[in-house]
């Protein structure tokens, strides 16, 4: 998780969104540390989401059966497939037994 925090805090000029999978799961486990580092985040459905340039999806493997897809690619891909923006994957990793983090960006690939 430190790597994700480092990536996001070195790009603070970019609007950032957090998404939890499944939908009823909050992404606050990452949102609070980002806020402490000065990164403002927005959720889908807010007006600011239209200008978001980086996205973090927090997927909880405990709820894969509820989500209907596995974390680490399929669940995140399904969520992205419902969006109308060209997200590309920057990083993905397990951040513990209950958290798979996927970081996406729009624009310059890194």
β-bridge pairing 54-59 and 41-42? unpaired
Q: Which residue has the tokens 């978001």?
A: 52
Alpha-helical regions (H) of the chain: 2-9, 28-36, 64-67, 74-81
pLDDT at 97: 85
| Mean pLDDT for all residues in the chain | 85
Decide which of 3.40.1130, 1.20.1250, 3.40.190, 2.60.120 is the CATH code for 2-105.
Answer: 3.40.190
- pLDDT of 89 higher than 90: yes
pLDDT at 57: 94
What pTM was computed for the model?
Answer: 0.84
> pLDDT (tens digit, 9 = 90+) per residue, 10-30?
555 568 899 999 988 888 888
pLDDT at 28: 84
- pLDDT of 108 higher than 60: no
Cα(71)–Cα(15) distance, rounded to whole angstroms?
Answer: 24
pLDDT at 10: 57
């Amino acid at each position: 998780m430190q790597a994700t925090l480092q990536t996001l805090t070195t790009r603070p000029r970019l609007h950032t969104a957090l998404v939890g999978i499944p939908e009823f799961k909050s992404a606050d486990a990452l949102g609070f540390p980002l806020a402490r580092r000065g990164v403002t985040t927005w959720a889908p459905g807010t007006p600011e989401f239209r200008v978001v340039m980086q996205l973090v999806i927090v997927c909880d493997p405990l709820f894969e059966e509820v989500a209907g897809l596995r974390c680490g690619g399929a669940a995140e891909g399904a969520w992205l497939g419902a969006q109308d923006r060209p997200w590309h994957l920057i990083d993905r990793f397990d951040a513990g037994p209950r958290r798979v983090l996927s970081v996406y960006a729009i624009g310059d690939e890194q």
